[in-house]
Amino acid sequence: MATDKIVKDPLLPLVSMIGNEQTSKDITSTYLEFNRLIDDLENIQQTVIAKHQDKFTADYKEHMLKVQVQLFDFKKKASDYYQSLMKDEKFKNLEASVTWLRNESIRLAGSIDRLTE
């Protein structure tokens, strides 16, 4: 990868103008080393980003699974509460009906007693 950048890099012709061949070689080798290090850093950065994305995705899925379980539990609790409330309402309605029927039977018994006298 670094050699592709060197061939197209406009700085290399300037290095050859320095005059001292050893200095020119040192500059060129240092330049090549910098390009290699930059490529390595880019690769490391991409690897770290990929790991973070994978970890984030896994953590997000785990969290959403917990949220779904909590929602299921809340729905079940709400349903159970509603069912118990309905049973209580039915019980109250039945008690009211029994009370009304008892009072009505007492009233009718009283009416029958008056009619038979």
Write out the two tokens for 102. Answer: 């008892």
Q: What is the 3-state secondary structure (H, E, C) of 4-33?
A: HHHHHCCCHHHHCCCCCHHHHHHHHHHHHH
> Using one digit for the tens of pLDDT, what is the confidence trace for 75-91?
999 999 988 888 888 88
Per-residue pLDDT of 42-77, as tens digits, reads 999 999 999 999 999 999 999 999 999 999 999 999
* Per-residue pLDDT tens over the stretch 13-38: 665 566 667 777 788 888 889 989 99
* Domain extents in the chain: 2-116
What confidence score (pLDDT) does residue 11 get?
Answer: 63
> How far apart are alpha carbons 42 and 47 in whole angstroms?
9
